Amino acid sequence: MTKIFTSAEAAVADIPDGASVAIAGFGVGHSYPNSLVIALKEQGARRLCLVANSLGAGEYRPELLLENGQVSKAILSFSARPGLPSLVEERAAAGELVLEMVPQGILVERLRAAGAGLPAFYSPVTVGTPLAKNKEVRQFGGRQYVLEHALAVDYALIRGFRADTQGNVEFRGSSMHFHPSFAKGARVAIVEVEEIVEAGAIAPERVGLPGIFVARVVLSTKKVAVPKGAMRRRAPDTRRKYFGKPALSRMELAERAAALLPENACVNLGSGLPTLVASHVAGRNITLHAENGALGYELLSESGTPDPDLFDAAGGFIEMRPGGALFDSVVSFEVARSGKLAAVLLGAYQVAQNGDLANWSVPGQVGGGIGGAMDLIAGASRLIIVMEHSDSKGRAKLVRECSYPLTAPRCVDVIVTDLALLVRRGEQFVIEEVAPGFSVDEVRALTDMDLLAAEQVGSMRPGAGTASVSA
């Protein structure tokens, strides 16, 4: 029986009401199976359980299935993103949709486990967070682990670069991410590709997903236009004012954080402010890791031409350095959880005095945006929080206890804000530097936690050295 289908409509025609469907794709619009998503919308199957990293954005977003009244449950890593409206959140809050939040690395691992015939596994991720509630927790080697169950689905909709008539799939660039694990966890995996070739046209070592895991192959017909320009990370040279005085700009803040990274380090940059750090490591022997499956990359140069299949975890276009590597999300989170990263830089909603971190959900949200943060932290890398000192309403982000849902307990090592550099010593943070023009007392006045001050508090200059944050 041939695996080649004449159209996306034919490939999804038998998906029944009540089916579970995993849809691979990254961020708001990278490498989604657009043709299959639209075909499933037009096919009209109801009461679907959708499994995805997020439901995307744009003309062909999987969220269209939700808008069309076809979804009764969603299992996601992102149900909401800052500044964007979320239909998932609205429906879940109204009781019209069941929402389950899963960290990104655990999501791919649960599907991979289903494909590997493993019913469950223990993970260090989500320990001490609301996501561990009602789950079995055991200790191994003196550390706590949460039991996670395999996640098998009826269908997976994925996207590749090329496929042959045997169903072998080749991927390009950093666009492999969720696709292999989603396909392996499905009873029926359907892939759309740019090109279908005869068996043997794809060299065996270039096969990213063996055809034995693929049931159906179609040509892609729904294309997303590639943005013009390099999408280089910039931030307006604006500065927040505290006590009527300007603090560090966002780019100065990112530059100071970049200087904390030691040479020969492998680091991960989270979304938001931490992504700006990438602009300040050019020319340094620092290896950047992106959880969508890139290791050893840099931002696309101003003169570079964007490749839709080369992007980082924040959606920015990249180019690979000599010696870099590309792989799927399973391998990427193996890098993170195994402790291979020297540092992880993340943003935060709140950091507590004892180092607790809250950065994925705020009061009033049913879900939030977990992404890969919990998995990255579980690798016991040095965690550096990069953020503005107060939130947009002037409220303290450095608090005695987090009132927002925890991402992980006692995990933050260093905080870099537009006012101060703070290092955790035991159960308390120490002010090591303050922004020019500000005093220790002014920093304390804007902070809702007890702070110690170093014997010699330095000036927080962009590009300063790293001695003050040595372990």
pLDDT, tens digit, 9 for 90 and up, residues 94-106: 999 999 999 999 9
Q: Which pLDDT tens digit goes with each residue over 405-415?
A: 999 999 999 99
Single-letter code of the amino acid located at 225:
A
Average pLDDT value over all residues in the chain: 94
The answer to whether residue 134 scores a pLDDT higher than 50 is: yes
pTM of the predicted structure, to 2 decimals: 0.95
What is the predicted pLDDT for the residue at 381? 85
Residue 466: partners with Cβ closer than 8 Å, 6 or more residues away: 259, 260, 261, 262
Q: For the chain, where do the domains classified as CATH 3.40.1080.10 start and end?
A: 8-219, 241-469
Q: Answer whether residue 232 shows pLDDT above 70.
A: no
Coil/strand/helix, residue 376 = helix
As beta bridge partners, residue 267 has: 288, 343
pLDDT of residue 380: 79
Point out the least confidently predicted range of 45-54, 301-310, 337-346, 386-395: 301-310
Q: Does the pLDDT value for residue 19 go beyond 70?
A: yes
3-state secondary structure of 336: helix
Q: Is pLDDT of 230 > 70?
A: no
Q: How many residues does the chain have?
A: 471
Residue 35, pLDDT above cutoff 80: yes
Active site residue 291: yes
- Please tell me which residue, 2 or 149, carries the higher pLDDT value: 149
Query: Under CATH, which architecture does the 241-469 domain have?
Result: 3-Layer(aba) Sandwich (3.40)
At 267, the pLDDT band (50, 70, 90 cuts) reads very high
Q: How many CA atoms lie within 13 A of 79 on its CB side?
A: 29
Tokens of 393: 């309403």
Q: Which pLDDT band holds residue 233 (cuts at 50, 70, 90)?
A: low
Residue 153 in tokens? 């689905």
Q: Is 295 exposed, middle or buried (0-12, 13-18, 19+ CB in 10 A)?
A: buried
Cα separation, 445 vs 65, in Å, equals 48
Integer CA distances (angstroms), 262 to 257, 294, 431, 469, in order: 11, 20, 21, 11
Residue 315's identity, in one-letter code, is G
Decide: residue 239, CB within 10 A, 0-12 exposed, 13-18 middle, 19+ buried. middle
pLDDT attached to residue 227? 57
Angle at 154 between CA 315 and CA 185, to 5 degrees: 60
Residue 464 pLDDT exceeds 70? no
pLDDT level of residue 467 (50, 70, 90 thresholds): very low
User: What is the pLDDT at residue 468?
Assistant: 40
235 pLDDT band, cuts 50/70/90, is low
pLDDT of residue 84: 74
pLDDT, average across residues 438-454: 97
234 falls in which pLDDT band (50, 70, 90)? low
In a 10 Å sphere around its CB, with 0-12 CB exposed, 13-18 middle and 19+ buried, how is residue 471 labelled?
exposed
pLDDT digits (tens, 9 = 90+) for 153-203: 999 999 999 999 999 999 999 999 999 999 999 999 999 999 999 999 999
pLDDT digits (tens, 9 = 90+) for 20-31: 999 999 988 899
Q: What percent of the chain has a predicted confidence (pLDDT) above 90? A: 86
Confidence of residue 82 (pLDDT cuts 50, 70, 90): confident
* Listed range (80-84, 181-185, 359-363) with the worst mean pLDDT: 80-84
> For a pLDDT cut of 70, what percent of the chain falls above it?
96
Q: For the segment 419-445, what is each residue's pLDDT rounded down to a tens digit?
A: 999 999 989 999 999 999 999 999 999
Query: If you classify domain 8-219 with CATH, what class do you get?
Result: alpha beta
User: Among 329, 325, 375, 438, which residue's Cα sits nearest to residue 129?
Assistant: 375
From the candidates 109, 291, 298, 433, give the one annotated as an active-site residue: 291
**Per-residue pLDDT tens digits for 236-249:** 667 999 999 999 99
* CB-CB contact of 179 with 154 (8 Å): no
Question: How much is the average pLDDT of 105-117?
Answer: 98
